Chain A
Amino acid sequence: MSLRIETRFGRIRVERRIGYGRLYSISMTLLSLALAFLVVALILASLGLDPIKAFQVIFGVFMKPSLLLESIKQSIPICLAALGLSIAFKMNFWNIGAEGQIYMGMIASTGIVLLHAYYGFFHEWMVMPLMLLASFLLGGAWCLIPGALKARLGVNEILPTLMLNYVAILIVDFLVHGPWRDPKGYGFPLSIAFPEYTKLNIVLGEPAYTGLLLSILGAAAVFFLLEYTKPGFEIKVVGQSPAVARYAGIRVRSTILLGSFLAGGLAGIGGLSIVSGIIGRLRPGASPGYGYTAIIVAALAGLNPWVIVAVSIFFGGLITAGGALQMSMGIPKAAAQMIQAVIFLMILVGEFIKRYRIVVERRGASER
């Protein structure tokens, strides 16, 4: 990165910082958060709203147990998808399709529930494990399509992963408008409500706890895969350089297939956590963009699986806060989303400033 701007007064230059401390890093993040809230406060004030009260609502989300649980619940699909992305990104596989893989996971979970509810297949206790398996497989298969295209034909993955999102979303639309519509649902495009035993409430009867467990298990699995297993090592080598991987005798194609499958599979389980943890049925637009938020989360967390869990909860909190602001203060939905956007943006700028510094050279100093 070398950016230079010449002005009449001198030269402005962007330089890479060589090493910085952890304390500096943390304080920069906190500073950018503070700045974000300052900007948000100004905007709210200009709308004639009381910023203090709004912040009480936002921070209240992380204080009040019921809202915190809601935040954690919202974080589960983000977290699982981001964990999958961390595998893909380590492999240098730019999967923009977590959203679609989430939708495929929802389809698979709902499919299992319907097979059980309509046709009486499987015992009650088998439904949940089967849902888990099916959502993993279908989400993985969805990501395997661009993976195979890349491995076999050298097709860049960015467009296929992105475009398959729309395909997946439309398949869900078709299903809930057509064959999977609840016969007693007054014609609304919804599936039947999931029975209790297909919901994510194994731990303490609370989806947030079960989901958190799922997130942590997912993080542990990804961490273990990448650090302690042969396929994980291979994924990282391929990500660094396919040429070196080939030279080392690594099967590059199979590695890409495996990595993309695992990435999609985790997002698929994220889909399961939506239908059986957050909504309790399948409906159009069931994911309001968790798969895209997951990209930001994975990037901000530096692809570290443990950090992903924490960052996801923060972002889940912002989503929850958006809803709370709407209800308690009548702040329009768009404004709530804008608050999130300002925070994302500030953190990104903060990350940039962490890594680079801006140097101003006064004119005159350089010439004699």
Chain B
Amino acid sequence: MEKLVELRGIVKRFPGVVANDRVDFELRRGEVHALLGENGAGKTTLMNILYGLYKPDEGEIYVRGKRVELRSPRDAIRLGIGMVHQNFKLVESHTVLENIILGLREDGLRIDFEKHRRRIIELAERYGWRIDPMARVWQLSAGEKQQVELLKILYRGAEILILDEPTSVLTVQETRRLFEALRRMAREGKGIIFITHKLNEVMEVSDRVTVMRRGRVVITKETRETAKAELANYMIGRPIVFGQKKTSAQLGAVVLKVIGLKVLGDRGYPAVNGVSLEVRRGEILGIAGVSGNGQVELAEAIAGLRKPLSGRILLNGVDATGMDAGKMIELGVAYIPPEGNKLGVVPGFRVVDNLFLKAYRYPPYSNKFLLNWGKMLEKARELIEEFGIVTPSVLSRASALSGGNIQRLILARELSGIIGGIPRLIVAAYPTKGLDIGATEFVHDLLLRYKEMGSGIIFISEDLEELLLLSDRIAVISGGRIRGVLAREEADAEKIGLLMSEAVVQAG
């Protein structure tokens, strides 16, 4: 089979690290090739080299058998290489059509919008997408935006497609649709490189898989000749433990009681539609469900960031309905927001500022008016140690930290008790999303530790494995309603899946 791309002996060094160390990689016509590895394994660096964003320090790149040198993405695009980045690069206020034809030069001065519109619809239909070329990008869901990104590339006639963690923003249904489209593209003779760190997806969609670890290729294999456990071993170099983590925590009094809660979403309709639930001291209540079904709105209502439409929130028996975030913090609610690098930290601030983003206003870190930097710096150094935050110093900017370390920083701020003791209620929204296995384990252990210390925990995740691993009870949410609550002993993947799918049928 024809080789679309061949990378030979690629070396890329950054100050202090070798991101790619003599990497060989090939992509054949008609295959979906998964590039698997933990965060920081060098996958994205390698693909940025293929896309012309970075120049390799050593090594050769061949496209369709011809040696090339890529000085910029423009060179790559000319060779039929297209890349969909993790963060979409679309002009939000423009239409789909305008985004797709942006930068095309075939038309000269007058743009034939009608011709483009027809062609875009045709192209989209080929992959089973229904997309309105005249819709503004900000109106689209994440899945649709991704389709626009793909259309943009396909419209330019690309046949070498690079997708960087394309499913991290998608719902399960959207992921399924994406995979169908990718299979179709492969049948048409395109080559697709699929960057991921999710084993399930590798098994589901790829023909071959290349595993990277610490900047090197560990192995390249036919997907059907391997298995998840084997790949996991290649990825991390050690086997993963499945099952439930036991603790000696005792259930205590009810910390949080939510009764008939309704909350509006950003689009103006109720995203949380009559949720009632209860969390006790020393308990982890898992919230399972496809993301976008009201989890974040529920979490934000409990954290005081969203005013409930109706219903009640009781914290330790006190009515806290409608209180703002500051009050909720004072009542002992810690909130670990989803996408921590966006909402959880100020990238331009120093580590110490970010650690004290909430606690700065309470003694001993300040009095009525003045901040006590001495106390804050001293405590910040302790927290860095305690939570294993890797940073040159407490005075470094948060933007210099990796995703895993930012999450550690957020955890240190929320959980360490600097805001006035151990939190009574911890609301953790997707706290391990995007983290590598080491950092994920750290988060798990930390949540279990606080459970033992008597915090009540709401643990929102999409990952059934980790929900089963940590939760005492699992509530399944869909369409803004709790479809059922299962005790850990009776819960398994099938039952949860069933509750989720039943709800989907009801909702649809």
Chain A interface residues (CB < 8 Å from chain B): 228-231, 233, 236-237, 240-241, 243-244, 246-251, 361, 366-368
Contact = CB atoms under 8 A, between A and B. Distances in A.
Contacts of A244: 343-346, 357
A244 B344 CA distance: 7
Contacts of A249: 304, 324-329, 358
Interface stretch (B189-197, B248-256, B367-375): B367-375
Contacts of B324: 249, 251
A247 B370 contact: no
Given A244-B344, A247-B325, A249-B358, 16 more contacts: A230-B361, A230-B370, A230-B371, A233-B353, A233-B371, A237-B346, A240-B348, A243-B343, A247-B335, A247-B337, A247-B344, A249-B304, A249-B327, A250-B326, A251-B326, A366-B75
A366 B71 contact: yes
Interface in B191-239: none
Interface in B314-331: 324-329
Given A249-B325, A251-B326, A229 B370 contact: yes
6 contacts: A230-B371, A231-B369, A240-B349, A244-B345, A247-B337, A249-B328
A251 B361 CA distance: 12
Contacts of B371: 228-230, 233
Contacts of A229: 369-371
B69 A368 contact: yes
Interface string B354-382: 00011011000010011101000000000
A261 B502 CA distance: 56
A366 B343 CA distance: 41
A246 B305 contact: yes
A361 B353 CA distance: 42
A241 B373 CA distance: 22
Contact of A361 (B71, B305, B327, B346): B71
Nearest to B358: A248
Interface string B293-320: 0000000000111000000000000000
B299 to A, nearest CB: 11
B130 interface: no
A231 B348 CA distance: 18
B67 interface: yes
A366 B345 contact: no
A86 to B, nearest CB: 16
Contacts of A231: 369
Contacts of A246: 305, 325
A233 B329 contact: no
Max chain B C-beta neighbours (<10 A), residue from A230, A249, A361: A249
A366 B349 CA distance: 40
Nearest to A241: B346
Q: Which 10 pairs of residues, A with B, have the shortest CB-CB distance?
A: A249-B326, A249-B325, A240-B346, A366-B71, A248-B357, A249-B329, A248-B358, A228-B371, A244-B346, A230-B366
A251 B326 CA distance: 8
A31 B324 CA distance: 53
A249 B337 CA distance: 13
B491 to A, nearest CB: 31
Nearest to B325: A249
Interface in B68-112: 68-69, 71, 75
Nearest to A366: B71
A233 B360 contact: yes
B296 to A, nearest CB: 12
Contacts of A366: 69, 71, 75
A368 B79 CA distance: 14
A360 B348 CA distance: 31
A249 B357 CA distance: 9
Contacts of A233: 353, 360, 371
A365 B105 CA distance: 24
Nearest to B365: A230
A251 B357 CA distance: 13
Contact of A247 (B68, B305, B366): B305
A228 B326 contact: no
Nearest to A247: B343
Nearest to A251: B326
B441 to A, nearest CB: 26
A229 B348 CA distance: 19
Contacts of B71: 361, 366
A237 B358 CA distance: 11
Interface in B420-477: none
Contacts of B325: 246-249
B429 to A, nearest CB: 12
A221 to B, nearest CB: 13
A49 to B, nearest CB: 47
